[in-house]
Homo-oligomer: A and B are copies of this chain.
Amino acid sequence: MKDKEFKKIAIVGLGLIGGSLAWALKRSKQVRNVFGVDTDEETIEYALRKQIIDEGHTDLSRGISDAGIIVIATNVGEIVKTAKAIIPLAGKGAVITDVGSVKGRIVRDIEKVLPAHLRFVGGHPIAGTENSGVRSGDPGLFKGKRFIITPTPKSDPKAVSKVASLWKSAGAEIHEMDPGEHDRIFGFVSHLPHVVAYSLVDTMLSAPDSETLLDFAGGGLRDFTRVAASSPGMWADIFIVNRENTLNSIKRFKKSLERLEAAIENKDPESLKILLSRSSLARRKFPK
């Protein structure tokens, strides 16, 4: 019988992403020991009870020294700090990786402090729901979804391929990208829509008769703003860590909005129809 591909993988932060990854790896049977770290005792207990992890601890200093790969799955705002805490504890040759929705600054900051005996490769699984926490975890969360791996010229090719293999075991498709390019793209396709969704709900809340508006929010608005129910702390971090790209995409969005606004202002149904048709057509071609 073929030996398992991985010996010990430590996942630091058993939230929706970390918990689902642990679970997927357990199910894949490619890892001898899926080790979980979380500051919340109940989370560890739950993950053990549900067999999402093999072992776990609330103390980072317990159990990661012999992990071959250490996955940082904390909130974006905590990743660099967590990496700095892991560095003195990790064993020689260990590969550190993360799941942050922002890559440029995180990859740069971690590479800056990485000692020669450790490896780091950034990553971002394109999966998630508006829910959070290990209790929302799903071992199939990454199945068929993209995992963006963001190596740099400083990355060790072996470490890159180990991280890629790990995510393949969780069911993901690997897509390589420059960290800065990643942030530009996701500034547009993910961070901007979240800004917009939060702003849409805020528009209703700030209106004089917000109660009435919310009562009629069941229809159209509900679909649009599903994501505005996501974790505010997580998104505040993402917007600030990817500040430049987020602001740039907001600026471009405002231009598109103002073009539409002008066509309505000018009672110009023809140019309005052209504008809307262009978007409608493109929308119908979005990948599933």
* A-to-B contact residues, CB < 8 Å: 77, 126-127, 185-186, 188-190, 192-207, 212-233, 235-237, 239-240, 243, 246-247, 249-250, 252-257, 259-261, 264-265, 267, 269, 272-273, 275-280, 282-288
Contact = CB atoms under 8 A, between A and B. Distances in A.
Contacts of A201: 279-280, 282-283
A250 B261 contact: yes
8 contacts: A126-B216, A185-B213, A189-B221, A195-B260, A195-B261, A202-B275, A203-B249, A246-B264
Contacts of A206: 252, 255-256
Contacts of A217: 189, 286-287
A147 B186 CA distance: 39
Nearest to A213: B188
Contacts of A236: 269, 272-273, 276
Given A189-B221, A201-B280, 18 more contacts: A126-B216, A195-B257, A195-B261, A196-B224, A196-B257, A198-B280, A201-B282, A203-B252, A218-B288, A223-B223, A224-B227, A225-B279, A228-B279, A233-B273, A240-B269, A243-B265, A246-B264, A247-B264
Contacts of A197: 224, 279
Nearest to A267: B240
B207 A276 contact: no
A34 to B, nearest CB: 26
A286 B77 contact: no
A261 B197 CA distance: 13
A272 B239 contact: yes
